[in-house]
Amino acid sequence: MCGATAGGLSLDGVNVAKEAVIQGQVTREGEPVGNAYVRLLDRTGEFTAEVPTSATGHFRFFANDGEWTLRTLAPKAEPTDRKVVAQTGSVAEVTITL
């Protein structure tokens, strides 16, 4: 995972024109949630990938174009699902609130 910067993840070195990026932050009561897990599920609900959140609650996936589900797993929280659409040439920014 890429390092976080104040205000979000840096896209330095990422050729957004050739990538479909899904990234964001997991928060609880306005505070970042580090060491949570965000899973990327395809449109049928099949597991594709998983990343831990950084200390600042950030995560990033490079995905194929289409509809995806982000499933967030964190201590003391119910799993949270969030639909997102990835498209080559754009960054889907997602905030997940637990």
- pLDDT on residue 14: 62
pLDDT in tens, the chain (98 residues): 344 344 566 666 666 667 799 999 999 999 999 999 999 999 999 999 999 999 999 999 999 999 999 999 999 999 999 999 999 998 999 999 99
- pLDDT on residue 60: 93
Domain count, the chain: 1
**Domain span including residue 38:** 17-97
Whole-model pTM?
0.82
- Would residue 7 count as lying in a domain? no
Report the CATH number at residue 90: 2.60.40.10
One-character DSSP codes across the chain: -PPEETTEE--TT--GGG-EEEEEEEEETTEE-TT-EEEEE-TTS-EEEEEE--TTSEEEEE--SEEEEEEEE-TTS--EEEEEEE-TTEEEEEEEE-
- Would residue 5 count as lying in a domain? no
- pLDDT on residue 19: 79
